[in-house]
């Protein structure tokens, strides 16, 4: 699959938290690629709130400012949260905790869901859904290499 500037990546809260805590990691790198207009980022408001809540609880106090700058500097499509009925369609696949993430990612039409949650990745990928769940590292190693502008990305 060829990827390019119109390819939409849906970021799970785990990736936003990782990008905040590790600016040299894969999550931050992919957000920077989106900020450069070489890919498109999408999130839901629920994902943004979950990330902020966990950053407040688990990272140093200055991390919240880093997170907010990251969000402001990265153009993102904010996907409307699908209805409760639409979310529940995914409950048996990924559980109640992650049903909103999968529903929003699929609703956005994103071909990729980026998450550090290996259980979520496995559940999504085994369910034959119209989205592939990958860690940022796996996306970089297996998908990004097919980007039309790959030589200039690195």
pLDDT in tens, 91-110: 999 999 999 999 999 999 99
Tell me the per-residue pLDDT of 7-30, one tens digit each, with 9 for 90 and over.
Answer: 999 999 999 999 999 999 999 999
Q: How many CA atoms within 13 Å lie on the side-chain side of 69? A: 10
Q: E strands along 12-139, which residues?
A: 40-44, 76-79, 112-114, 132-134
Residue 2 is assigned to a structural domain of this protein: no
The pairing of strands 132-134 and 40-44 is unpaired
> Measured between alpha carbons, how far is 145 from 147 in angstroms, rounded to an integer?
6
pTM: 0.97
Q: Please give the tally of structural domains in the chain.
A: 1
Residue indicated by tokens 């209805």: 83
**Mean pLDDT score of the chain, rounded to an integer?**
96
Q: Which domain holds residue 70?
A: 8-153
How far apart CA 46 and CA 101 sit, in angstroms, is 8
In a domain, 105, yes or no: yes
């Amino acid at each position: 699959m060829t990827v390019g500037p119109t390819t939409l990546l849906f970021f799970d809260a785990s990736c936003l938290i990782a990008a905040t805590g590790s600016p040299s990691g894969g999550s931050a790198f992919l957000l920077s690629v989106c900020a450069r207009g070489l890919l498109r980022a999408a999130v839901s408001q629920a994902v943004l709130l979950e990330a902020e809540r966990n950053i407040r609880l688990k990272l140093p106090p200055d991390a919240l400012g880093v997170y907010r700058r990251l969000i402001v500097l990265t153009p993102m499509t904010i996907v409307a949260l699908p209805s409760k009925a639409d979310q529940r369609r995914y409950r048996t696949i990924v559980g109640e905790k992650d049903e909103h993430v999968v529903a929003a990612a699929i609703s956005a039409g994103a071909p990729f869901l980026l998450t550090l949650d290996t259980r979520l990745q496995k559940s999504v990928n085994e369910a034959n859904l119209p989205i592939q769940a990958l860690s940022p590292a796996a996306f970089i190693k297996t998908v990004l290499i097919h980007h039309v502008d790959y030589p200039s990305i690195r």
